[in-house]
Amino acid sequence: MNQVSHHVVVVGAGFGGLELTHALAGQPVRITMIDKRNHHLFQPLLYQVATTALATSEVAWPIRHLLRKRKDVTTLLANVTGVDRTGKRVLLDDGSTVAYDTLVLATGARHAYFGHDEWEPFAPGLKTLEDATTIRRRILTAFEQAERETDPARRQALLTIAIVGGGPTGVELAGTIVELAHDTLRGEFRNIDTRQTRVVLIEAGDRILANFAPKLSDYASKALERLGVTVELGRAVTRCDAEGVVFGDKQLAARTILWAAGVAASPVAEWLAAKADRAGRVLVEPDLSVPGSPDIFVIGDAALVLRPDGRPVPGVAPSAKQEGRHVAATIKSRLGGDNTARPFHYKHAGDLATIGKRAAAIDFGWIKLTGWLAWWLWGIAHIYFLIGFRNRLAVSLSWLWIYLTGQRSARLITQGDDDKT
């Protein structure tokens, strides 16, 4: 094999795909990066776009710009529809193909409605910039409609926001939305008092932030309730429609419903005809390769990777980046003639969740923090991982302004097809 001509194809410019590409700099390979969007998204702060704290340009960057200095990398804006494992080709939706020597699939995850895909039009999830602007539009439009509504019951339904799922995304959405309604928008309307907005967080389990230590879950629940969020535990949602949600024996009239309850892997398992778990994650080998195809790797949310204790590696940015570095190291070894399988070992960096603009919960295992100090550490960690000085400065200034004044600058209602709100 001519090492100089070794072609690595990376599908997905998320945390894992970009980390792998950066780690292969200077190696005797050529890389093709394929993504159906032209930008890399800093997903941990996507909820802040949805809740008017940040602009889209502050959490996303053009892929071509990020890789502009890498002459060994070709970027393609394209939609993958399948993989020909025998012919070693990636299939694109326009009928063309891209040949590979090594293929890395880092395509992330999408929303999962537990067999009720009909709920999606009424309860959008939060995975893309389009999702974030849709949610922002629905939230702000609900206030505008409430301002014109004369029927008290319909007005209250417009001022009720239900969030399904008590993980970090649901908790962060709930805390930020209630502050938006109670602080930022206060006094801007004449016929409604936005402080009457009701935010309800619905979790089927017995506690929110289930991956955190129980005392941190309890802290988060109390912190949300102090902000004005109603936390409902132990009841699974059984219906979502234009009128609201049903969970347990309760029916909640809510014109805005947000979905943060579950995710499913992108259709990588279907492309490969590979074994997958119920969430669609490919059951990979210990070295992250696909069984029977050592030249194909799956990383990030699309892969099921087990830790020594049998628990899956969490679908968070640090794990995707670690997996990307691991696969890059494997490729380097193979180029040097060492084909020894190298099992992936995940190092957990901790769990973080913010609760409004003055509190957070952090679980590092060996230390657990809450409150104001945890919020600052959460902010510092996220700013550190942003790309570029300009974005770090812009986000820092936006957060400082919100912290001091409660005002959020990204409160624009853009046009869309949301006629079900």
> Catalytic residues, which ones?
172
Give the CA distances from residue 214 to residues 220, 251, 283, 368, in Å, rounded to whole numbers and listed in that order: 10, 28, 30, 11
Q: Which residue has the tokens 């129980």?
A: 214
What is the rounded distance in angstroms from the CA atom of residue 32 to the CA atom of residue 16? 15
**SS3 (DSSP) at 167:** coil
Return all residues near 338 (Cβ < 8 A) that are at least 6 apart: none
Choose among 9, 18, 119, 80: nearest CA to 267: 80
Question: Residues 132, 56: contact at Cβ < 8 Å?
Answer: yes
40 bridge partner residues: 61
174: left (phi over 0), alpha (psi -120 to 50) or beta: alpha
Question: Residues 265, 171: contact at Cβ < 8 Å?
Answer: no
- CA atoms within a 13 Å half-sphere pointing along the CA-CB vector of 401: 14
Q: In 10 A of CB 337, how many CB atoms?
A: 7
Strand order in the sheet with 250-253: 237-241, 244-247, 250-253
Structure tokens at 37: 């969007």
